[in-house]
Structure 1
């Protein structure tokens, strides 16, 4: 069985919206696009590269797929991520797309949750969910996330889409690896570990 791994860039207050650029996702009037680069350092890039060592596919929602498909096919070939992003298999979950043109892409068909369960049960390596906030919510609601790989950057935005939004399923997390870069970004890997337990001091 394959692992589904949610890989997300977060602000300290949990915002995941539009880390990569001002025009990436202005939905709901979001004006803080592009917050990640200034809050990162070279250790962040090395950490993210390590996330892909044992993964051979990505799982993307429509918005993230369209952003990536418009950028990576013509991206700088000297960027070490370019060949990797273009070469990996991409599974796309969308209710509106009828085809996907980016190389090595497959549009999931039929009921999304059933398609995801079938994909998880198939042969192959780990599958990284990148961005794709709505899809991540679906995965969490149906207990399909095996691991979270998060970069938590030292910046507070105050508004925007959050990975763990209101209504998130209460879940205990087991820390697998947690480090802090010289610039203060936390690189955390966590696995769901049942329900939270409660106690008092």
Structure 2
């Protein structure tokens, strides 16, 4: 059985996924901060993480996560789950990763992803990581896109889909959440 590669993003109405919590010095600020996904949104995120048995990230996302998650002890157990699972970071500049259970993929990332999809049963969860997603989408390696849609327009920033990418997607689930947000699940057609 082939496991699914699930891309999970915070996304603005105009498709921006860059720097949602304002840690990358992009000038976009913490654009998710004014909104609350509520208990239903928290449960969606919990189910998404517990369905996965490994995480895959690009370098920028990895560095942001690695600076925060190892030091968290949240009541929902998100940190314990994420800290304990195998993590892979796609990077041509990193040589080693300090966060527990992390492997650096510096060459043939697509080949590693194909191999990982053929092993195990839980999902491969990709948080954010627009550059990585831009490289995996055209190769047909993305099985689902989970969008936590924020009711804001940023006007600039890195978008989820690369400019020259065209594809059709099927809507699998759509839920309205707190603060005018929505959660949508799409699969490539």
Do the structures match in fold with TM over 0.5? Answer: yes
**TM-score by structure 1 length?**
0.86
Q: What is the number of residues matched between the two proteins? A: 187
Matched, 1:159 2:156: yes
CA, structure 1 residues 79+52, in 2 after alignment: closer, same or farther (shift >3 Å)?
A: closer
Bigger mean CA deviation after superposition, 70-79 or 31-40: 70-79
Structure 1 CA distance, aligned partners of 2:47 and 2:33? 18
Q: Hey, what's the Cα distance between the residues in 2 that align with 1:35 and 1:110? A: 33
Larger radius of gyration: 1
In structure 2, which of residues 95, 102, 111 is the aligned counterpart of residue 98 of structure 1?
Answer: 95
**Aligned with 2:20: secondary structure?**
coil
Rounded to whole Å, the distance in 1 between the matches of 2:178 and 2:64 is 30
Deviation at 1:55, TM superposition (A): 0.9
Query: 1:147 & 1:114 partners in 2: Cα distance?
Result: 19
Kindly indicate whether residue 114 of structure 2 is the aligned counterpart of residue 117 of structure 1. Answer: yes
Instruction: Give the gaps of 5 or more residues in structure 1.
Output: 194-201
Using a 3 Å threshold, how does the CA distance of structure 1 residues 79 and 37 change in structure 2: closer, same or farther? farther
- Counterparts of 2:146 and 2:175, CA distance in 1: 12
CA apart distance, 1:79: 5.5
Shift of 1:115: 1.6
Give the deviation of 1:156 after TM superposition.
1.0
Query: Which residue does 2:140 correspond to in 1?
Result: 143
Higher mean C-alpha deviation, range 140-149 or range 41-50: 41-50
2:24 maps to which residue? 25
Q: CA deviation at 1:12?
A: 0.8
What residue in structure 1 maps to residue 5 of structure 2? 4
Unpaired runs of at least 5, structure 2: none
Distance in 1, matches of 2:106 and 2:31, equals 34
How far is 1:77 from its partner? 4.3
Cα contact 1:56–1:127 (8 A) shared by 2: yes
Equivalent-residue separation in structure 2 for 1:123 and 1:109 (angstroms): 22
User: Given that residues 36 and 178 in structure 2 are in contact (C-alpha distance below 8 angstroms), is that contact kept between their aligned partners in structure 1?
Assistant: no
Secondary structure, aligned partner of 2:45: helix
> Aligned partners of 1:78 and 1:49: how far apart in 2?
12
Shift of 1:16: 0.6
User: Would the aligned equivalents of 2:94 and 2:106 in 1 still touch at CA under 8 Å?
Assistant: no
Query: Of residues 53, 68, 72 in structure 1, which corresponds to 2:69?
Result: 72
RMSD of aligned Cα (Å): 1.6
